[in-house]
Amino acid sequence: MRRTLTRLTVAFLLIAGSALIALGATPADRSVLPPSPTPQSQESLVQMFKIAWKKMPSLPRGFQGSTGGIVDGTLLTTCGFCSGERGVKGKPHTYPRGHMRNTWGLDLGNPERGWRELPDFPGEARQDNFAVVVNDELYTWGGFSYSEPYCYNDGYKLSHNSGRWAWERLPDLPWRVSTSGICATGSKVYVVGGADYDEEKFYTTGDRAGATSRLGARLLVIDTENLSGGWRELTPCPGTPRWAHATAAVDGQICVVGGATGNDNVTGQYCTVVDNWRYDPGTDEWDRLRDLPVASGNFPAGQIVYGDRYMVLIGGYQYAWVLNPDGTTRKPYGKPFAHYKGKSYYSDVFVYDTTADMFGTATPLPLNNNLPMTVVAGNRIHLIGGETGGAVVGGEHFGHHPDLYLVGDIVEVRMAKGGDQQPVGEGLVPSSGKPPATADLRRDARPTSFMSELVHER
């Protein structure tokens, strides 16, 4: 049975929720929401990928909260923030404080040439704008900073033509938002969720003025081949309003995984989001997916799909509470892994199989890192910056908001006869003489900071 919600049902929930909140009541009774398919335990997770991590040429400065992608064979990163840091070994001038407009590019065919400075981002300096590549051009919107108006809705496109990099203005989003999920199918860009910010707090339940209810659940689309048509709102996600969530287009559908809430909820704190959803643009309907096997929901969005099937979920963060779709709370579950045991942030790499609706694991990061910019291209993962608490990688020292560029090469793990796992291409042939099939990861037959207390130090 499909766990589907139509636009009419979601609209009713939005109206009911808004009415109760206006009366000072707790969040609306959203018991009509479908339950999660049978959750997986952390102990049942199998390894889907082996990843060989390697440090690549460091960036000109350290930062978190940049965005980017790959255009014309060049890895791009733009904007970001550094809290300022001294005393990092060998790097006396690498960590100046402030928000950035800098844009850099690395020729992936010649990475030894290092990072090249490109035209600055044309908007105000900011972090946590969100971007996706369509037709070999980078589209980016939103973000926030510590200066008025604090949160942004403007958008820009970066293109490379005849050897020249240039920015162009794009239609504004209908509201100010940062750290939204973004992805593209064909010429259409989808933006889901995100948070408003007003210097005092981050808002996902609604915007700072209360004019846009369930801001962190709203879904927008724009056609890059008809930009003059502007943004169009679609059926919002029925789940917990969120930001800092993994969002990806797979087989023409939009998957939304994990994330965090703002601190505008009943706890007054950031909460982990574990409910996951899939949107079908053809029917304008949402299906509920399996909840996360570990309550650790801060994941980069966008170009994070391997093999047109697997979403790569980097890092994550576990807050003191999980906020459920019905507005109730519960304690977190599962134990995230940290490379540096005595430091904040985590090193997990989870994998979500969009075909089987099952989660697995991959080789963890060689450091703790929260929300690095992430781009998956072919079998390679590109990670830039993030939030680490400090680390040493490949003998090089990195600060809290690092100048780190890390790559990981994926080897898919398959299940051999008898349940043993073996990396693809390592020559394992079962006694049947047939090559091993892709693992059936369904262990049962039942159906289917970002905002840590250290994040955004000012």
DSSP 9-67: HHHHHHHHHHHHHHTTPPSP--TTSPPPSSPPPGGG--EEEEEEEEE-PPPSS--BS-E
Summarised one tens digit per residue, pLDDT across range 308-343 is 999 999 998 999 999 999 999 999 999 999 999 989
User: Which of 34-38, 275-279, 310-314, 343-347 is predicted with the least confidence, judged by mean pLDDT?
Assistant: 34-38
pLDDT at 417: 46
pLDDT band at 449 (very low <50, low <70, confident <90, very high): very low
Does a structural domain hold residue 450?
no
Which CATH number belongs to the domain containing residue 83 in this structure? Answer: 2.120.10.80
The per-residue pLDDT of the chain, averaged, comes to 88
Does a structural domain hold residue 387?
yes
Does a structural domain hold residue 435?
no
Does a structural domain hold residue 84?
yes
Does a structural domain hold residue 456?
no
Summarised one tens digit per residue, pLDDT across range 113-144 is 999 999 999 999 999 999 999 999 999 999 99
Position 444 pLDDT exceeds 50: no
Does a structural domain hold residue 153?
yes
Q: Give the number of domains in the chain.
A: 1
Domain holding 254, by residue range, is: 4-423
Name the most confidently modeled range: 23-27, 136-140, 424-428, 441-445: 136-140
Nearest to 384 by CA among 456, 308, 314, 310: 314
**pLDDT, average across residues 260-264:** 97
User: What is the pTM (predicted TM-score) of this model?
Assistant: 0.87
Does a structural domain hold residue 457?
no
Position 367 pLDDT exceeds 60: yes
pLDDT at 4: 54
Summarised one tens digit per residue, pLDDT across range 79-119 is 999 999 999 999 999 999 999 999 999 999 999 999 999 99
Give the DSSP H or E segment for 229. none
pLDDT band at 174 (very low <50, low <70, confident <90, very high): very high
Summarised one tens digit per residue, pLDDT across range 293-310 is 999 989 999 899 999 999
Does a structural domain hold residue 356?
yes
Nearest to 140 by CA among 76, 219, 206, 74: 76
Residue scoring higher pLDDT (421 or 198) = 198
